[in-house]
Structure 1
Amino acid sequence: MAITSIAFGSPAEAGQPDALKAALAEFISMLIFVFAGEGSGMAFNKLTDNGSSTPAGLVAASLAHAFALFVAVSVGANISGGHVNPAVTFGAFIGGHITFFRSLLYWVAQCLGSVVACLLLKLATGGQETSAFALSSGVGAWNAVVFEIVMTFGLVYTVYATAVDPKKGDIGIIAPIAIGFIVGANILAGGAFDGASMNPAVSFGPAVVSWTWDRHWVYWLGPFVGSAIAAIVYEVFFINPSTHEQLPSADF
């Protein structure tokens, strides 16, 4: 990957119609994803009398997030690229597929979508709050960072392989399915330890609504580091620099 492929763009991008449409698409996709994902946890908790930390609760969370992310990526793919995750956007920026200023616009939209989804859940459930992501007993902050790095690496690597790589061919709906599946599988692996976020915006919404910030930095540092590693590895080893084109926005 040539470092010159990274583009910063211009602040004027924030006013461009296509950028605003893309940001709106990211906002809506994130709202759909968080409302369904976090809402399923609240529903399971209600039906089982606070039993969401059981194996069945973990499986339910995995399925709900996998299904919701598949839909959220699919509905946003043709407008914004269907990032639905600040870490995915960061990986696209590192690879030169989106400018820095457009990335900022995406990050704001994604975080707002998560906050609005959590506020709507609070309103719809009569005041119940979505729980902020937290570490399980015996899990240290740096243990969780490693979890988030590895899980997000797998997610962003999957995004690159199925959606970004210009040699991927016409795999159509396989990309959002694979992206949803890897998130669901990672929740099964890491959910019992740190909640398996892989997505700073997903962690941000519940933290804002519940105003709980304990070790919140874990859910930003880990995903951004994992995303950057995945982007660099895929760009350097699997995307031919001679055929790699600078894109104004994400090509997935």
Structure 2
Amino acid sequence: MVDAKLELQDMEKSLMKQSAVRELNLYERIFQPCVAELVGTTFFVFIGCVSVIEDVEAAGRLQPALVHGLALAVLIACMAEISGSHFNPAFTVAVYLCGGMQVKMVVPYLVSQITGGLLGAAMAKGMTSTENYAKAQGAAFTVLQSENQIMKALFGETAMTCLITIVVLLGAVNGKSKSPLVPFLVGCTLIINVLAGSDVSGTCLNPARALGPAVMTNYWTLHWVYWVGPIAGALIAAALVRLLLGDNNMRLLMK
């Protein structure tokens, strides 16, 4: 009898605590997530660009791979509860299509990410040496130099973005497979992709990461690949999760 009363008291206290939780105000619902996307994308692009511009020749692709992956993991871990830590227009499109955000936040997120990409590229230009910056074209993607490489690079950007977007969707949006290890998983996936595909396409996987350096250096050679590839990959990932991989609430087929 005493145990039952104690359990009832605990339940009442729990309900009181839940009811006492303050609802998010307008700033926390609308503006703070956009600020988080702006700041997160800025520092991701900044650190990523610097790792390419000042890359030590002996390190090869390892330095940019580790820097991009670890920076993304840290930023996701810090800001996931504020904005969801997209920092990538392709991720935002996929998350929206899988029901992970409201439509009214899509455009503000995209604007914040693109602005962050420009700011990050500008910060990288201000920090690095003029000689190294010019040599690396500001960390714009200079791997593509001929029309013969387009289809391989486009396929690489699509497939690798699809992979990392699936990790994001299953780890952070899908109820059945959500994991607290999402920052680690996404960061490791980015490292793996850069190590595997940097010599093919440069492994952008993020239009905001591509746009900033391109604007700073006015380097637009085959730049469209770094928009079409990532967005196509994100759409494929969203379709796979919505149609086949998602839980019963998200999946549209075979319920």
TM-score range, shorter chain: 0.7 to 0.9
Give SS of 1:194's match.
Answer: coil
Following superposition of structure 1 onto structure 2, how do residues 159-170 of structure 1 map, counting pairs within 5 Å? Answer: 159-168=168-177
> C-alpha offsets along residues 179-201 of structure 1, whole Å, 9 cap, x if unaligned?
00011100011101111001110
Higher share in helix: 2
Give SS of 1:193's match.
Answer: coil
Alignment partner, residue 248 of structure 1 = none
Q: In 1, Cα distance between the equivalents of 2:166 and 2:224?
A: 22
Native 8 Å contact 2:94 2:165 kept in 1: yes
Alignment partner, residue 117 of structure 1 = 120
Q: CA deviation at 1:137?
A: 5.2
Q: In 1, Cα distance between the equivalents of 2:214 and 2:104?
A: 25
Give SS of 2:219's match.
Answer: coil
Aligned counterpart for 1:38 among listed residues 29, 35, 49: 49
* Structure 2 residue 81 is matched with structure 1 residue 70: no
Q: In 2, Cα distance between the equivalents of 1:126 and 1:25?
A: 29
Q: In 2, Cα distance between the equivalents of 1:217 and 1:67?
A: 27
Aligned counterpart for 1:208 among listed residues 194, 212, 215: 215
Native 8 Å contact 1:26 1:83 kept in 2: yes
Give SS of 1:77's match.
Answer: helix
Following superposition of structure 1 onto structure 2, how do residues 1-252 of structure 1 map, counting pairs within 5 Å? Answer: 17=27, 18-44=29-55, 48=56, 51=57, 56-125=59-128, 127=130, 128=133, 130-136=138-144, 140-168=149-177, 171-172=179-180, 174-241=181-248, 243-244=249-250
Q: In 2, Cα distance between the equivalents of 1:145 and 1:100?
A: 28
TM-score in terms of structure 2 length: 0.80
Q: In 2, Cα distance between the equivalents of 1:37 and 1:131?
A: 8
User: Which segments of 5 or more consecutive residues in structure 1 lack a partner in the other structure?
Assistant: 1-15, 246-252
C-alpha spacing 1:131/1:41, structure 2 compared with 1 (3 Å): closer
Q: CA deviation at 1:136?
A: 4.0
Native 8 Å contact 1:29 1:75 kept in 2: no
> C-alpha offsets along residues 56-113 of structure 1, whole Å, 9 cap, x if unaligned?
2201111111110101211220011001111100111222222344111111111111
Q: In 2, Cα distance between the equivalents of 1:240 and 1:30?
A: 30
Q: In 1, Cα distance between the equivalents of 2:95 and 2:85?
A: 12
Aligned residues: 219
Alignment partner, residue 18 of structure 2 = none
TM-score in terms of structure 1 length: 0.81
Q: In 1, Cα distance between the equivalents of 2:30 and 2:197?
A: 34
Q: CA deviation at 1:234?
A: 1.1
Q: In 2, Cα distance between the equivalents of 1:220 and 1:42?
A: 22
User: Which segments of 5 or more consecutive residues in structure 2 lack a partner in the other structure?
Assistant: 1-25
Name the structure, 1 or 2, with higher relative contact order (CA <8 Å, separation 6+).
Answer: 1
Native 8 Å contact 1:131 1:210 kept in 2: no
Q: In 2, Cα distance between the equivalents of 1:32 and 1:72?
A: 9
Q: In 2, Cα distance between the equivalents of 1:100 and 1:198?
A: 23
The aligned amino acid for 1:72 is: L
C-alpha spacing 1:136/1:220, structure 2 compared with 1 (3 Å): closer
C-alpha spacing 1:215/1:99, structure 2 compared with 1 (3 Å): farther
The aligned amino acid for 2:176 is: K
Q: In 1, Cα distance between the equivalents of 2:140 and 2:129?
A: 18
Give SS of 1:167's match.
Answer: helix
State, as a whole percentage, how many aligned pairs show the same letter: 30
